[in-house]
Structure 1
């Protein structure tokens, strides 16, 4: 397959440190250039990463006929405007999460969905550990799945960090709560019907520094999660069924190019002595994400997750914020 030629919108840290290096290892991606609001930072990033082109504006890159697909890691409030701009320039777009600030805003992507491919960049859905867990669930390894539990936290109290700026989509629910929602949807292979949330806001930033939530998937199935931007760094996913439990050790920030582990517990010993450990092969979830999107661009596979999937995730986030205000269950 001929490699897809990629351009990157902005010199965001996640792109420079994780996504671009991962895509550069792909057999299907040719990351050709990077754009910033001025040439100097773009050139520095291009030199650091060994990219052929640096652009002094986003518009310059989007006008380049060689660029076929765009990775958009801009701040959250710019995801939709620049994704639409790229799509209208004929570029396919892989957009960082969350895809928007509201589901209504995300729905604007439907205006371009018949012209180009657009997908939200939840790289975890391509990682072997997540695929293996879902395979085990489908095979009935832990019986009927009842609960998915997620905890995801880090500590960041820097007022200059975009994650602490409410007007541009900062806060725990947008930044990492979206991953917890995806975990429930991915593992249940369904969407929640209603949600309820408990939110604590930083008195200075006014962002949600922690959010605990319950999502009802029907049929006795629920996701419960806590996410925080001001707690000790920690992350786990637990999937609990009628005859067993599966734990993902490092679900979201899996070591790039490293092995990962999942734990399978049939409940025979409460001290964990009977837990079985599966070690998954070395992989880079950003490489795998780039592989899948590029192959979809070339028509080798169907796009696994498109615009409607991204809108659904935002509908859940919208409902959780409504629940914060109403202090009751809200329909998704």
Structure 2
């Protein structure tokens, strides 16, 4: 293999065309070589727009291309597992959008397939975790600068009433927990460095779409708690606060980190509150570079697939908790 990973993009999904592909084209070790769609015309126009050499009119055609090393899979949630497995069978490394599957059992099918192809790298694309602001948050907590970690508080919301949007289609894996609630769950497990013991969830179901349009959750960890609210029908907002016995770390834009200005965080300790600024960067570029590096150097991916299974099990436990109106142990 050369010093660059040659990528094929499975579909012309907006997350890919608007954010991930342009960012990965800036990665020194990545080359976006091909893109596909169920319509060749759509694939070709997108390829022309993004400066991608090859366009295919089906997913299978792209997977059959021997000049593609890795696949980025931004398909709708219900298509993540099957097409990622198909990519592995075609000998491609896979970076799959979150959530990995519709359920933990669904995601486990991909984990099992990956285990039978140990020469190939597979990772869930939780891009936020690679951003310097989150690497700093983890470093601050682990250093003891906040004292003993006690609780994390998070809000993540946007407003979307479009019935044609996959986020509002239950059978396609829509709803607030699957789309954005997965972030507070992931970051809490990342910062605490362990799985929650139990969860308590309150969920509001949209009467028309039947998706969870709002979820408020408490996660009980061995060392403390994490609380969050996520919603697909609320004023757009996102913020994270990490509290310890001696300090606090707050991230201004924790998930959709801007690429046109520095990101901000605040570190509050006994000596005062310090404003931290992180240089302009793209978490998608960093994610692409890290994953490509794992391929080129044959090293472990930054986030193992077991992490994706842990996140899915927590999401399922929250749904169960809301149905039973009780704490659910994991």
> What is the TM-score normalised by the length of structure 2?
0.96
Deviation sequence 1:46-80 (CA, Å, 0-9, x none)? 01100000010000000000111000000000001
Equivalent of residue 292 in structure 2, options 288, 291, 294:
294
Q: Which residue of 1 aligns with 2:266?
A: 263
Q: Which residue of 1 aligns with 2:310?
A: 312
Residue 128 of structure 1 deviates from its aligned partner by: 0.2
Q: Which residue of 2 aligns with 1:271?
A: none
Residue 306 of structure 1 deviates from its aligned partner by: 2.3
Residue 300 of structure 1 deviates from its aligned partner by: 5.4
Unmatched 5+ stretches in structure 1: 269-273
Residue 207 of structure 1 deviates from its aligned partner by: 0.5
- Secondary structure in 1 matching 2:189: helix
Deviation sequence 1:76-107 (CA, Å, 0-9, x none)? 00001111111111111101011111000111
Alignment RMSD (CA, Å): 1.2
Deviation sequence 1:244-267 (CA, Å, 0-9, x none)? 111000000010253111101236
In 2 relative to 1, CA 111–327 (structure 1 residues): closer, same or farther, beyond 3 Å? same
Q: Which residue of 2 aligns with 1:90?
A: 91
Say if 1:258 and 1:284, in contact at 8 Å, map to a contact too: no
Say if 1:96 and 1:122, in contact at 8 Å, map to a contact too: yes
1:144 aligns with 2:173: no
Q: Which residue of 2 aligns with 1:237?
A: 240
Please identify runs of 4+ aligned residues in structure 1 that moved more than 4 A: none
What CA distance in whole angstroms lies between the structure 2 residues aligned with 1:281 and 1:301? 27
1:206 aligns with 2:222: no
Residue 109 of structure 1 deviates from its aligned partner by: 1.4
Q: Which residue of 2 aligns with 1:14?
A: 15
Point out the more displaced range, 1-10 or 15-24: 1-10
> What is the TM-score normalised by the length of structure 1?
0.96
Point out the more displaced range, 299-308 or 196-205: 299-308
Deviation sequence 1:120-148 (CA, Å, 0-9, x none)? 10001110000011111111111111101
Say if 1:5 and 1:66, in contact at 8 Å, map to a contact too: yes
Say if 1:102 and 1:314, in contact at 8 Å, map to a contact too: yes
- 5 Å-filtered alignment, 1:123-142, equals 123-142=127-146
Q: Which residue of 1 aligns with 2:255?
A: 252
Deviation sequence 1:185-241 (CA, Å, 0-9, x none)? 11111111211100001111110000000111113x111100000001100010000
Say if 1:201 and 1:209, in contact at 8 Å, map to a contact too: yes
